[in-house]
Amino acid sequence: MTRLVRPAQAGTIESSDILVMLAPADEGTGIQVELKSPTMQQYGEHIRGLIIRTLQEQGIQDAIIHANEKGALDYTIKARVKTAIRRAAGQRGF
Amino acid sequence: MIKERLRRSVMYAAGNNPGLLQNAGIYGADSVIFDVEDSVAVTEKDSARELVYHALKHLQFPCEIGVRINHISTPWGYDDLEYLLPAKPDYIRLPKGESGDEIRDIDKMITKVEEKCGFEPGSIKIMVSIETPKGLRNAYEIATASPRMIAIAIGGEDFAASLKTEKTKGNSITGGRELFVARSMLVFAAREAGIQAIDSVFSDLRDEETLINEVTMVKELGFDGKSCVNPRQIDIIHRVFTPSSQEIDYAHRVLTVYQEALANKSGVIALDGKMIDMPMVIRAERVLANARAAGIYHKEGN
């Protein structure tokens, strides 16, 4: 179970990337995603779902996420969310 | 028969750039390296590692993909291996190789992960770049330190810097003199070990003429391929390293007269008034093997 201890971000706003900003939230408030995407109509729900699933897979129930998506494929979205989680949990991964 | 994977071009893609990673395979390079070393800022080592992991795990590529890790003497090297090996890259590229011990160390880690993940033993290979005089002195030891070794490469800029000189461009006669001995020694070590030799990148993207000269020179020295950082250079590198139709034709004729001579048990072979001896036969075999690997020669046998 990962515990978020501070706000953190990962990714960029370059094409094919996504900038993920992640912050801890009070227990019981759930995962709140605010998403900006040029393909909101077609893929908005998919991206939102992928972000939430990735957080849940890491054992996170409560968090505030702002994501600025620029045409990222799924593998990038997953990777950026996971990096943001590790950073917010106080690990740098090295 | 020479059965070697073709590595005329080895292209780097910066590991923290999703656009580059997902498109790196489409430009026709024989081999692509996802880099988490020099092209990634110290503050982004963690995010590049994660991104490369997911790219390897979730995308499909038309060519072999290696991963250039940080050296195992840095704070990131072992973690790079631990994290990225389970995503099964085709090979690990180690920068600044200086001893056989480093290679044996990495080999051990790969063996462990192969067992744990159920990968075929020996399927993940190693390529090492030589960037210092010490590395060059130990090049043969490095090249033979593990059966996983597929190639040694020269890191030109770093090597020149460690000699306290710089990588020159010059022209076809004066260019690259500072690396001349190092390049040749690298080829000697690779050939003695029976693996490939890869030359370093040529960084001026606008200067195609000098690029062609440099590729031609390293091909003459015996190199199998060249690294590059931009897809624009791939076609030029391939053109130089791929046998021409005249070369293929001649190689084919050499092997034909050689086989006729074998069948007739005649000792002396001549073609177009020139004596054909064993080195020329071996070279002809290599030309056809390269042409076959490049997909421009389809006859079997020979």
- Name the CA dihedral angle for B4, B285, B282, B287, rounded to a multiple of 10 degrees: -80
Of B18, B45, B83, the CB nearest to A73: B18
* DSSP 3-state of B145: coil
The values of phi and psi at residue B160, to 5°, are -60, -40
Domain edges within chain B = 9-241, 245-293
Q: What is the pLDDT of residue B173?
A: 66
Residues in chain A: 94
Mean pLDDT of B180-202: 96
Q: Is B302 exposed, middle or buried (0-12, 13-18, 19+ CB in 10 A)?
A: middle
Mean pLDDT of B74-99: 97
Q: State how far the Cα of B124 lies from the Cα of B133, in Å rounded to an integer.
A: 27
Q: Is B287 exposed, middle or buried (0-12, 13-18, 19+ CB in 10 A)?
A: buried
Q: What is the pLDDT of residue A91?
A: 74
What tokens does B106 get?
Answer: 């990495």
Interface of A with B (CB under 8 A): 10-11, 14-17, 72-76, 78-80, 82-83, 86-87, 92-94
- In 3-state terms chain B splits into helix, strand, coil percentages (rounded to 5) of 50, 15, 35
The values of phi and psi at residue A63, to 5°, are -170, 155
Among residues B204, B292, B237, the alpha carbon closest in space to that of B29 is found at B237
Enter the ipTM: 0.95
pLDDT digit string, tens, across residues B255-268: 999 998 888 888 77
Q: How confident is the model at residue B270 (pLDDT cuts 50, 70, 90)?
A: confident
The values of phi and psi at residue B119, to 5°, are -80, 155
Of B51, B57, B79, the CB nearest to A76: B51
Whether the pLDDT of residue B2 is over 50: the answer is no
Among residues A83, A89, A86, A81, the alpha carbon closest in space to that of A24 is found at A89
pLDDT digit string, tens, across residues A22-53: 999 999 999 999 999 999 999 999 999 999 99
- How many pairs of residues across A and B have Cβ atoms under 8 Å apart? 59
Domains along the sequence of chain A with CATH: 8-88 (3.30.230.10)
- In CATH, the architecture of B9-241 is Alpha-Beta Barrel (3.20)
Q: What is the pLDDT of residue B219?
A: 94
Q: How confident is the model at residue B114 (pLDDT cuts 50, 70, 90)?
A: very high
pLDDT digit string, tens, across residues B23-66: 999 999 999 999 999 999 999 999 999 999 999 999 999 999 99
pLDDT digit string, tens, across residues A63-75: 999 999 999 999 9
Q: What is the pLDDT of residue B277?
A: 86
The answer to whether the beta carbons of residues B89 and B34 sit under 8 Å apart is yes
Among residues B156, B155, B94, the alpha carbon closest in space to that of B127 is found at B94
Q: State how far the Cα of B12 lies from the Cα of B229, in Å rounded to an integer.
A: 5
Q: State how far the Cα of B288 lies from the Cα of B299, in Å rounded to an integer.
A: 9
Q: State how far the Cα of B213 lies from the Cα of B211, in Å rounded to an integer.
A: 5
The residue with tokens 């040529």 is B202
Question: B79 and A94 in contact by Cβ < 8 A?
Answer: yes
